[in-house]
Every structure is written in structure tokens, then in C-alpha cells.
């Protein structure tokens, strides 16, 4: 039987390794970490097999869709931390921040031209997906993508799961095997050839110096041709910040997670999505840390297959079991969906029932309609919605429960579902620090029916699950939230 991790490896062009190459190249595109990283582990394995040193390239482009100061600052903070780590360990590590379109691609191709083979991150959405489709055709050596995104390898599912229930069944059958075949904590410890790689100076001619760009991040960012209206957030983009967040969560909030997570005022969720998005922390280490808080007599033998139902699988503390369902099932169902569906960001990827009901109601009169700018500037009649949008603008995130309401209302307040979808994608991916992720598309398309079922029919939104601000105010604790993000005078 094949090892579960073999389903993580995608040979993209079936070329033979170049034995004359100077090194193995690991191109760190999205899983920006040196620990618990299957792709880095795989590249290290190849370097050892060919007795070559390993070159790691971590770069950042300036012309990607929805590029903002916010994203740039967060990513560059992480890269700066990496320089210090790489120097300490004397790694062959190149960090590079592009200031003009095309520089990144040129450098990548130059570095690849001297490599025996190239390993990079498998990722099912956004520019990484496009690059991983385009570059293998343009390169002469093996171009291999390795999936280090979640526990169940992307190559393990045969088609797009249309519901969380369906994916949960697969997860339940394979969790133990996946969890007991984890990525190595420090794969670079096993690298044998530590020779210093000398790169020709000509590769870097007319390019900004990566180290200089990162020494003063705000200055570098201010000179880039990106959106400067969306500024940096308080959270730091490095791995240390992610580990700190995980530590605080498991210590203070995990054991009340399921009970209180829907109440914005309780602040019981992990806040880990920004670092998960940029791969600063792996899902495996989160799951491992969380399982360490199960009751003392709990072990993997307590797990019982439960046919895809939410409860009755981990059989531990319900708060922990609830968190695991979010971070494994709900996180990964979106990755697997996008992996199998090139149209993951298109209206037509919605289930048939959702398309049918939205078409039936597309001409229903709307009580309110807002332009993109009105929504962006939190100028609607709905104080709670405006508060959620204000949180997104300021902090780059919306509390999960309110994120659902935020998405649902945009469908009601736009002239047609396609416009709603476009506004949702643009607002989310511009302002959210965890945006441009498979989960961005899961969340947005969930509002339009993906991974959901038909509910009672109403005007405009048809059979989509309905959410109202009035009910949300009754259901969840919002006093502090509204005091921070809403208009004080209108507090109820
Ligand atoms: C309209 C809309 C847009 C969204 N956009 C994004 C986005 O851009 N990026 C993003 O990562 N998530 C997105 N989500 C999903 C979810 O809201 C966030 O993952 C979650 O709120 C992140 O906060 P947390 O890390 O504190 O979550 P926790 O509750 O602590 O959960 C831990 C982790 O589990 C995963 N998770 C939790 N809830 C969900 C969910 N409903 N769907 C998928 N994964 C989940 C996330 O990886 C999360 O970090 C969106 C949801 C909606 C409704």
C-alpha cells in the first residue's frame, strides 16, 4: 500500500533531474516556514540523494491581484525573521522583494537554470495555482509541487467534495494514518551537503537587494506600486507571533471554544487564519498542540469512525473536538474542492440548486442596494454590518460568525448574484489578511450555497440559508464589539 504522503507529490513535467546542476532549488511560495513543511522535506531528500546543496528562494511579487501595504508588510515581516534564522543556520537562502513586475520571474528562472530540479508548494488557488500550471512547461528540469497544506493530502481525494459531511467521512477514515505520518519538525537538520552556493552577481544586476528591502519594511513598502489605502495591521507576520497565538489559544480559550466561539465579545477563537494562510504555522502542529489538551486518559485509540457526523469521532473534550472539526474538516474541504475545480472562483461552480434559485430570484426587487464604495466605506443602514466591515478595514479580519452575516447581506444588497460575488471577492481579498486563500472561496461561496443545502424560500436570496442582523443581535454577545467597531449612539 502506498504511504499516505505519496499523495502529496505532483510531478508537473516528468523531466529527468539534471545531474550537472549546482543545487536542488526549493521555491517557497506560500508555505513560508522552515518547520513541519513537507515540500522542504522533499527537497532536502532530493538534495541528499543527488549529494547537492539546497538553495531556498523566498520572494514576493508586487503585481499580484489585490496587492496592499497590509499583505506586503505581513509577508515581509515573516521574511525578515527568516533571514535571521537562515543566517544562524548558515542556509543557502535568497530572499527577494520585487519592486517592478517581472523581476521575480527573471530571478526564479535564472536560479532554476542551474538547478538539478525544482521543488515548490502545491496550492490550489490564486497566483500559485497559475504559476504551477505555467512554469513546468517552460523549465528544463523536473518541476515538482508538494502539498504541505493540510492533513489529508490533496491527491488523496478523487473528486471535489460537495459537502463538509462527505469530506469529513474521508477525514475520519484517514486521520490517524495522516496524523501518525507527520512532516518532520526540522527537515533541514537532515541536509548533508552544506556547501555554500556562490550565485553569479549577474543574477542580481538591476535588482533591489532583498536584505536592504527588508531592513526598513515601511520605507520599502511605501515606494511600491500597490494599494496604500489598506495599511498594515497590528499582528506581526512572523512564525514566532503564530506560535505565541497558538500558545495563548490553547492555554486560555481552547477549553471554551465550542461553547463560546460564536460570541464576538468572548474572543474565544484561535485567530490563527492569517498565519495558516501564509504557511507560517502548519495545520499539523496546531492539531498536535490541541490534542495535547485532551483529557489525560485520551489517546488515538479513542477515535471511532462516525460516518461523517460531527460528534462522536474524537471522543474527547467537546471544545477540542469542535475546534478540530473547524481546523481540519472545514479548512480542508475548501482546499480539496479547489484542487479539483479550476472554476473554484466562478459563479457556475455553485451547486445546481443554488444557481437555479438565484436565477429564479434575480429580478426580485431589492429593498436596499449599495455600490462597492458604499460597502467598502461601511456606509449602509445596518449598524452591525458596518461594524463588521469596520473591523475588516482596521484589523484585516472579521469574527467568523459576523463574517457569515457580512457575506449574506451583500447578496441581498446588490443588483444580482454575480455582482454580489465580485464585491465579496474583492472586499475580502483586498482587506482580509487571510484572504486569497482556499478558505476565502469556501466562505464566500458558502454564503451563496456551496457546501450547504436548500432552506425555506424567500425573495431575493431564494433558498439560500438566511441570516439577519436582528437575529444575530439577539443570538450572540456584541456589546463590546459594537463599542469598538459600531456607532456608540446607536448601541442597543
Ligand atoms: C464570507 C466569508 C469569508 C471568509 N474568508 C476567509 C478567508 O479569506 N480566509 C480564511 O482563512 N477563512 C475565511 N473564512 C472562514 C472563517 O471565517 C475563518 O477561517 C475564521 O473565522 C478564522 O478565524 P480563526 O482563525 O479565529 O478561526 P477558528 O475558529 O479559531 O478556527 C481555526 C481554523 O479553522 C479554520 N476554519 C474555521 N472556521 C472555518 C470556516 N467556516 N471555513 C473554513 N475554515 C474554517 C480556519 O483555518 C481557522 O483559522 C470566511 C468565511 C466567510 C463566511
122 part of a folded domain:
yes
- Judgement on whether residues 368 and 429 belong to the same structural domain of the protein: yes
Per-residue pLDDT for 489 more than 80? Answer: no
- Judgement on whether residues 352 and 441 belong to the same structural domain of the protein: yes
Overall number of domains in the chain? 3
Q: Which domain does 273 fall in, by range?
A: 239-277+282-340
- Residue 334 CA: nearest ligand 1 atom is 43
- Residue 270 CA: nearest ligand 1 atom is 30
* Sheet-wide strand order for 23-28: 9-11, 143-146, 115-121, 23-28, 54-60, 92-97
- Judgement on whether residues 259 and 407 belong to the same structural domain of the protein: no
Secondary structure of residue 54 in the 3-state scheme: strand
Q: 460 C-alpha vs ligand 1 centroid, how far in Å?
A: 26
| Average pLDDT of span 239-244 | 98
172 part of a folded domain:
no
pLDDT given at position 384: 97
- Residue 406 CA: nearest ligand 1 atom is 1
Helix (H) or strand (E) holding 92: strand 92-97
- Judgement on whether residues 294 and 201 belong to the same structural domain of the protein: no
- Judgement on whether residues 15 and 30 belong to the same structural domain of the protein: yes
Q: Ligand 1 pocket: which of 151, 271, 331, 400 to mutate (most atoms <8 Å of CB)?
A: 400
- Judgement on whether residues 213 and 112 belong to the same structural domain of the protein: yes
Sorted by sequence, the CB contacts under 8 Å of residue 211 that are 6+ apart come out as: 83, 95
pLDDT digits (tens, 9 = 90+) for 166-203: 999 999 999 999 999 999 999 999 999 999 999 999 99
pLDDT given at position 490: 44
pLDDT given at position 210: 85
pLDDT given at position 492: 33
Q: Ligand 1 pocket: which of 163, 268, 289, 443 to mutate (most atoms <8 Å of CB)?
A: 443
> Is 437's C-beta closer than 6 angstroms to any atom of ligand 1?
yes
pLDDT digits (tens, 9 = 90+) for 267-312: 999 999 999 999 999 999 999 999 999 999 999 999 999 999 998 9
Residue 309 CA, distance from chain mean position: 25
- Judgement on whether residues 329 and 366 belong to the same structural domain of the protein: no
- Judgement on whether residues 336 and 374 belong to the same structural domain of the protein: no
Q: Ligand 1 pocket: which of 273, 337, 338, 399 to mutate (most atoms <8 Å of CB)?
A: 273
- Judgement on whether residues 357 and 404 belong to the same structural domain of the protein: yes
End position of a domain, from candidates 295, 325, 340: 340
User: DSSP label at 462?
Assistant: B
- Label the pairing between strands 54-60 and 92-97: parallel
- Residue 398 CA: nearest ligand 1 atom is 21
- Residue 277 CA: nearest ligand 1 atom is 11
> Is 411's C-beta closer than 6 angstroms to any atom of ligand 1?
no
pLDDT given at position 298: 98
Share of the chain above pLDDT 70, in %: 99
- Judgement on whether residues 438 and 357 belong to the same structural domain of the protein: yes
- Judgement on whether residues 116 and 9 belong to the same structural domain of the protein: yes
| Average pLDDT of span 424-449 | 98
Backbone dihedral angles phi then psi of residue 461, each to the nearest 5 degrees: -90, 0
> Is 440's C-beta closer than 6 angstroms to any atom of ligand 1?
yes
Query: Of how many residues is the chain composed?
Result: 492
Instruction: Kindly indicate the confidence band of residue 234, based on its pLDDT and cuts at 50, 70 and 90.
Output: very high
- Judgement on whether residues 301 and 352 belong to the same structural domain of the protein: no
d(C-alpha 281, C-alpha 315), whole Å: 26
391 part of a folded domain:
yes
Alpha-carbon separation of residue 14 from 77, 95, 192, 340, 361 (angstroms): 36, 28, 26, 21, 49
pLDDT digits (tens, 9 = 90+) for 106-116: 999 999 999 99
Q: Residue 386 maps to which CATH number?
A: 1.10.579.10
User: Which residue's C-alpha comes closest to atom 18 of ligand 1?
Assistant: 400
pLDDT given at position 1: 81
Instruction: Kindly indicate the confidence band of residue 488, based on its pLDDT and cuts at 50, 70 and 90.
Output: very low
The mean of the pLDDT values for the chain is: 96
Amino acid at each position: 500500500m502506498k504511504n499516505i504522503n505519496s499523495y502529496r507529490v505532483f510531478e508537473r513535467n516528468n523531466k529527468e533531474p539534471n545531474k550537472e546542476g549546482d543545487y536542488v532549488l526549493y521555491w517557497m511560495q506560500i508555505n513560508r516556514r522552515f518547520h513541519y513543511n513537507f515540500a522542504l522535506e522533499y527537497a532536502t531528500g532530493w538534495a541528499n540523494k543527488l549529494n547537492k546543496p539546497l538553495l531556498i528562494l523566498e520572494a514576493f511579487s508586487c503585481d499580484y491581484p489585490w496587492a496592499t501595504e497590509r499583505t506586503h508588510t505581513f509577508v515581509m515581516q515573516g521574511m525578515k525573521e527568516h533571514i535571521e534564522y537562515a543566517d544562524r543556520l548558515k542556509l543557502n537562502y535568497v530572499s527577494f522583494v520585487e519592486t517592478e513586475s517581472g523581476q521575480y520571474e527573471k530571478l526564479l528562472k535564472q536560479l532554476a537554470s542551474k538547478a538539478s530540479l525544482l521543488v515548490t508548494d502545491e496550492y490550489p488557488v490564486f497566483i500559485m495555482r497559475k504559476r504551477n500550471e505555467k512554469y513546468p512547461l517552460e523549465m528544463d528540469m523536473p518541476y515538482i509541487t508538494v502539498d504541505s497544506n493540510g492533513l489529508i493530502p490533496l491527491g488523496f481525494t478523487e473528486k471535489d467534495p460537495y459537502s463538509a459531511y462527505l469530506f469529513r467521512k474521508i477525514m475520519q477514515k484517514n486521520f490517524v494514518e495522516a496524523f501518525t505520518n507527520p512532516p518532520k519538525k526540522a527537515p533541514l537538520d537532515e541536509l548533508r551537503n552544506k556547501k555554500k552556493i556562490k550565485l553569479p552577481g549577474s543574477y542580481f544586476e538591476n535588482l533591489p537587494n532583498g536584505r536592504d528591502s527588508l531592513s526598513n519594511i515601511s520605507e520599502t513598502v511605501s515606494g511600491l506600486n500597490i494599494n496604500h489605502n489598506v495599511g498594515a495591521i497590528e499582528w506581526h507576520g512572523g512564525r514566532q507571533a503564530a506560535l505565541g497565538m497558538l500558545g495563548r489559544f490553547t492555554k486560555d480559550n481552547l477549553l471554551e471554544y465550542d461553547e463560546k466561539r460564536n460570541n464576538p465579545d468572548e474572543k474565544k477563537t484561535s485567530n490563527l487564519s492569517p498565519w495558516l494562510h501564509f504557511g507560517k504555522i502548519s495545520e499539523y502542529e496546531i492539531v498536535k498542540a490541541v490534542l495535547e489538551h485532551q483529557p489525560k486518559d485520551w489517546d488515538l485509540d479513542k477515535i471511532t469512525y462516525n460516518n461523517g457526523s460531527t460528534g462522536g469521532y474524537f471522543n474527547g473534550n467537546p471544545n477540542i473536538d469542535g475546534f478540530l472539526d473547524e481546523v481540519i474538516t472545514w479548512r480542508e474541504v475548501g482546499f480539496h474542492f479547489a484542487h479539483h475545480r479550476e472554476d473554484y472562483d466562478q459563479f457556475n461552480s455553485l451547486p445546481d440548486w443554488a444557481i437555479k434559485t438565484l436565477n429564479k430570484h434575480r429580478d426580485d426587487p431589492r429593498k436596499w442596494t449599495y455600490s462597492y464604495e458604499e460597502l467598502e466605506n461601511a456606509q449602509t443602514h445596518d449598524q452591525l454590518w458596518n461594524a463588521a466591515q469596520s473591523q475588516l478595514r482596521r484589523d484585516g479580519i472579521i469574527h467568523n460568525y459576523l463574517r457569515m452575516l457580512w457575506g449574506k447581506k451583500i447578496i441581498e444588497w446588490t443588483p444580482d448574484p454575480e455582482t454580489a460575488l465580485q464585491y465579496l471577492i474583492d472586499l475580502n481579498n483586498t482587506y482580509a489578511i487571510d484572504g486569497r486563500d482556499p478558505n476565502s472561496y469556501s466562505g464566500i461561496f458558502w454564503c451563496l450555497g456551496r457546501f450547504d443545502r436548500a432552506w425555506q424560500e424567500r425573495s431575493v436570496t431564494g433558498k439560500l440559508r438566511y441570516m439577519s442582523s436582528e437575529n444575530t443581535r439577539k443570538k450572540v454577545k456584541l456589546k463590546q464589539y459594537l463599542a469598538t467597531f459600531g456607532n456608540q449612539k446607536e448601541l442597543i
